[in-house]
């Protein structure tokens, strides 16, 4: 009796059809011949790698740019020649006291800082310097908005001058060429010299007298008076005088004898103010010969 063979492939592949392949062929995971195919690891994503490299380059470039900017900023800061100066926050009329609330500190290039300005390495330092110096003093000229404050802008009102027994106040009208180039200011001590007339020799008529006020030159006051007599009848001298007038009239604290000698010197010829460090005698702020 013949035996019917099982279906192809039902015996695990022992009975194979012609051609040597089991029914249904080899499993997809096995190559022909019974050898197992090794799976290759998937290759890396070249696009992702390029992105990582590009990002790294950008970070390096950004860091380099940041370093360059920082170095440039440090160079600019080290070469900054500006300084803090004190200016008026609002217009201030002459003969007025100035409160701290009327002042502010701003940065200005060194070449634009005016002579004897109140300045400092910081805003607070500049303001402290100004507030201490002008405490109790009055403006000798009107101050415009944002005008730099100068020590020469301030003096004492005549009512504020502490006159000692025998002291008086006298004024000298002289040009800047005869007054240390216009650099004299309130608080300085000077000798008053007469230039003489007709080539005569000059003499010291008062020694060690104190300057208690500085005013604009006589020409500027005459111009203001002429304007008031013309089309500016309602304008005040503060409005007509320049913000930073050329000095020319100096108020001196002297003795009666010195005041008389100074008046005679002005009548006879030119008068010169000679800067000295301190009063020559101590009994009076304006004492001298």
Mean pLDDT by 10 residues, the chain (289 residues): 52 52 52 54 55 70 79 58 87 82 90 85 90 80 85 70 83 91 89 75 88 85 83 70 79 93 89 86 42
- For residues 209 and 105, is the Cβ–Cβ distance under 8 A? no
Predicted pLDDT at 285: 42
Count of residues making up the chain: 289
- The tens digit of pLDDT for each residue in 176-209 reads 899 999 889 888 999 999 986 655 667 899 999 9
Cβ neighbours of residue 273 closer than 8 Å, sequence gap 6 or more: 172, 174, 178, 179, 180, 184, 190, 191, 192, 193, 250
- 0.85 exceeded by the pTM? no
Predicted pLDDT at 156: 61
- The tens digit of pLDDT for each residue in 38-80 reads 555 555 555 555 565 577 777 778 877 887 877 666 655 555 5
- CA pair distance 105, 253, nearest whole angstrom: 33
H or E element in which residue 264 lies: helix 256-268
Predicted pLDDT at 284: 41
- CA pair distance 71, 61, nearest whole angstrom: 15
- For residues 277 and 207, is the Cβ–Cβ distance under 8 A? no
Range 83-154 classified under CATH 3.40.50.10780? no
- CA pair distance 218, 48, nearest whole angstrom: 86
Predicted pLDDT at 224: 82
Between strands 247-255 and 203-216, the pairing is antiparallel
For the chain, domain boundaries: 83-154, 157-276
């Amino acid at each position: 009796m013949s035996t019917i063979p099982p279906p192809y492939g039902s015996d695990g592949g022992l009975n194979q059809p012609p051609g040597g392949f089991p029914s249904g062929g080899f499993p997809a995971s096995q190559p022909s011949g019974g050898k197992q195919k090794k799976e290759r690891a998937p290759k890396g994503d070249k696009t992702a790698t390029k992105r990582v490299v590009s990002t790294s380059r950008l970070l390096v470039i950004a860091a380099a740019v940041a370093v360059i900017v920082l170095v440039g900023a440090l160079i600019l800061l080290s070469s900054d020649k500006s300084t803090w100066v004190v200016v008026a926050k609002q217009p201030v009329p002459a003969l007025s006291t100035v409160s701290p609330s009327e002042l502010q500190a701003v940065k200005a290039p060194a070449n634009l800082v005016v002579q004897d300005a109140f300045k400092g390495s910081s805003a607070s330092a500049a303001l402290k310097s100004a507030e201490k110096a002008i405490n109790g003093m009055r403006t000798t000229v009107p101050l415009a908005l944002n005008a730099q404050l100068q020590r020469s802008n301030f003096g004492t009102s005549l009512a504020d001058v502490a006159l000692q027994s025998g002291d008086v106040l006298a004024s000298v009208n002289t040009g800047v060429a005869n007054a240390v180039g216009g650099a004299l200011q309130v608080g300085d001590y000077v000798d008053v010299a007469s230039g003489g007339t007709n080539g005569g020799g000059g003499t010291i008529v008062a020694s060690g007298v104190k300057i208690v006020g500085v005013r604009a030159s006589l020409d500027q006051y005459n111009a203001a008076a002429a304007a008031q007599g013309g089309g500016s009848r309602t304008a005040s001298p503060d409005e007509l005088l320049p913000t930073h007038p050329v000095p020319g009239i100096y108020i001196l604290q002297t003795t009666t004898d010195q005041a008389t000698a100074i008046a005679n010197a002005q009548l006879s010829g030119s008068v010169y103010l000679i800067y000295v460090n301190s009063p020559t005698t101590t009994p009076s702020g304006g004492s001298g010969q």
